[in-house]
Chains A and B, each alone.
Chain A
């Protein structure tokens, strides 16, 4: 005890105006690697030396759950910790940065694009981008949540039932490269000639632009239907370091700290600190953040499936009762499949047309925009008499493999196979979504859809186009 007091006396007596140095270890997001100059200034002003140990935000969250040895954590958000049920320790948000798309000029035609229009372009191979692995990095997961929330189109936080249908696959076609770490800057510089865009924090895009390391400057796109914001809480992990924590955080949230952080293109948390240069840009509408870990798990599973070839078979009723508005409506519904419901590269689409028998079964492998035009052309055939819906499904199931089947009909079966015969031949049929309108029998269609794990959609109640969109990706 006496020795400590003596030490205090000696140190205090020996000091001038410079505060005594103290070092804290910090579990920090990998994208914070550019904070060197800020940390130098912090040390000069307060004597607090933060030693950053970099991880992806998601990875770091797991480390905190297991009991990290660090004094502090400084991550893009504490939202994922809370989803996982980890008590968030004393935390102070010190800066802000939204997840954006940094895109080369001219790659996106729209002025203020939405995630949906970005997905449209990416799905047909028109936008190759770099993103961070969402299992490791906060920016990757935030982008995935942004896209999926916009895709669900509910205007609400994602619920588990909203992610049952997989509407992010088109968007993920554009995923040209994935960086394991959160710091995408170096990776983008290396691969810039193969890429059109990078999904990351605004701060990373702006510092790339200022770095002189990229050949084409990136435009910052704030997707107008879903901004996710990183608010960078500094979290106290070791309660006994409280006094030093307070000192460091007081500096960071003070005028000097906020200005220093702004030099790294982060937005200040203090509303009174005037934003400068490109940080004056207003952000788009934020989305509501999901409230359950289940949703995040489902999204990560969808992410893992990305790039796997998908298969869907459309079984379309071309009987004469479809003449007029119905067949026009059906063709129109297909023409309107864009955005998150658009066809995507790697997808194999079969169209089975039937009347009293199967009229045609054609398959298009989607490699680009011209294949989507070819698909539209398949819908041009003539109408004939009769309705052999179960025979047509039998043909579809031969083609479907582990893909999905969408059957659309307006009449009762009056030719070919019976429903019992079909179910006997296919006791576990491919997942089937039945869109019924007109006099189609809801009970029999419902039975087949039910047996497959799919469901019946009544297009009488709403529009056919909406029904067709609804089952895309399911």
Chain B
């Protein structure tokens, strides 16, 4: 439910001045039910108390004004909205995002899609589904930033892969960045080799751990990436090829068993190389970690390395706003300089205000300014092209056994 709360600072406390609020859901019939009134009353108090807590903690300085709670379903770009600084900057515009984190593929298929102010799926094929489902309804796109899908690992695993001919260290990467040959990686995985065969103390099979392709865009994209490489740098263009490639890919995915949601948090945890030796994540997650480490210690984290597929795949996440509140948020994060600045600090590649890529180099500049080497992404002549949505969907159902 969205509350628009009016608050007013008066002597010694906050009172609800003209406490009018608009309720979008539950519907009014539910709202009128007596047993709803008390819990609802409590939730209003809670919402107020939350705002008071923010005010009391110094996070927010609010004169008499509204706080707009904007509800959204967000795929992989949740890191941005979880950031305390982003929350603070939005609160300065009296906006609070209530985020429901959902994998993009799951997100676009949810029954309650229309109940949100905005959704933020991670890639173009998922965006298309939303447009299809909202044919006669308002849907405004915003493209504030993007970030490529990459593989992340540890320095000794990167060296093991280098010795196996799978990756090559980037010249100016200071050991942090490598170029990855997806065909060579597939070969090692298909041979059923173990990490211990490559000289690391790990008896697991060599694979990439990926977010669930049934639920996430990055997991699905990885499937597309393997298919592109297996098909001699062409996406499959018919059903027969899609299914054949999916069946070739499935055994490689089955080694991992149950896929996770988002591998980055555990991969970045300082508890050893336990979870995810090679994982599919987004570039910004790695860069945000490196920026934070540099800030804390003055040095980059040299125990971790990023692998850039030679045939890069550009993702195009879009914030799709359904309501005026969603529009306001979309407008802010694509145009407000402080929020754009913060996106850079969180490792995103920031797009120009109309979605043009003129600001492409801003991230490199930012990394250099912080003393981090800049990666070269997608050195190959080719770009990874995903099969069309229908065929990719066919492949995912084939490999993932999705419900």
Q: Do A and B bind each other?
A: yes
B19 within 8 A of A: yes
Whether B45 pairs with A11 at a CB distance below 8 angstroms is: yes
- Asked if B56 CB lies within 8 Å of chain A CBs, one says yes
Smallest beta-carbon distance B4→chain A, Å: 14
Q: Is the CB of A243 within 8 A of B256?
A: no
B27 at the interface (CB under 8 A from A): no
List the A residue with the shortest CB-CB distance to B200.
A285
- Provide the main secondary structure of the chain A interface: loop
| A283 CA / B98 CA spacing, docked (Å) | 35
CB of B254 within 8 A of CB of A247, answer no
**Interface assignment of B272: CB less than 8 Å from any CB of chain A:** yes
Contact A156 B257 (CB under 8 A): yes
Q: Is the CB of B255 within 8 A of A288?
A: yes
Q: Given that A1-B37, A157-B254, A267-B271 are contacting pairs, would A243 and B205 also be in contact in the complex, using a CB cutoff of 8 Å?
A: no
Given contacts A16-B13, A19-B50, A247-B46, A159 and B273 within 8 Å (CB-CB)? no
B257→A272 contact, CB < 8 A: no
B contact face: mostly helix, strand, loop, or mixed:
mixed
Closest to A112 in B: B201
Partner of A96, one of B16, B44, B101, B269: B269
Check A8 against B39 for contact (C-beta < 8 Å).
no
Sort chain B's interface into a size bin: 35 or more
Interface string of B252-285 (1 = CB under 8 A from A): 0011111100000110111111111100000000
* Whole-angstrom distance between the Cβ of B97 and the nearest chain A Cβ: 10
Across the interface, A283 reaches (CB within 8 A) one of B12, B45, B48, B274, namely: B274
Contact status B43-A229, CB under 8 Å: no
Q: Within residues 107 to 165 of chain A, which ones have a CB less than 8 A from any CB in chain B?
A: 153-159
| CB 8 Å contact bits of A68-83 with B (1 = contact, 0 = none) | 0000000000010011
Q: Contacts of A242 on B, CB cut-off 8 Å?
A: 98
CA distance A360 to B232 in the complex (A): 62
B100 within 8 Å of A (CB atoms): yes
Distance of A86 from chain B, by nearest CB (Å): 11
Residues of B within 8 A of A246 (CB): 98
Cβ–Cβ < 8 Å partners of A155 in chain B: 194-195, 203-205, 255
Task: Return the CB mask of B186-198 against A: 1 if under 8 Å, else 0.
Answer: 0000000011000
CA of A458 to CA of B138, assembled, Å: 67
Which of A11, A16, A290 meets B257, CB within 8 Å?
A: A290
Let me know if A286 is at the binding interface, CB within 8 A.
yes
B15 interface neighbour in A3, A12, A271, Cβ under 8 Å: A12
Residue in chain B with minimal CB distance to A114: B203
| CB atoms of B258 and A79 under 8 A apart | yes
Residues 36-64 of chain B, each 1 if its beta carbon lies under 8 Å from chain A, else 0? 01111111111111101100100000000
With A13-B13, A96-B269, A155-B195 given, name 13 new contacts (CB 8 A): A12-B45, A19-B49, A90-B101, A96-B266, A156-B204, A156-B254, A244-B43, A247-B53, A269-B269, A284-B272, A285-B202, A285-B203, A285-B274
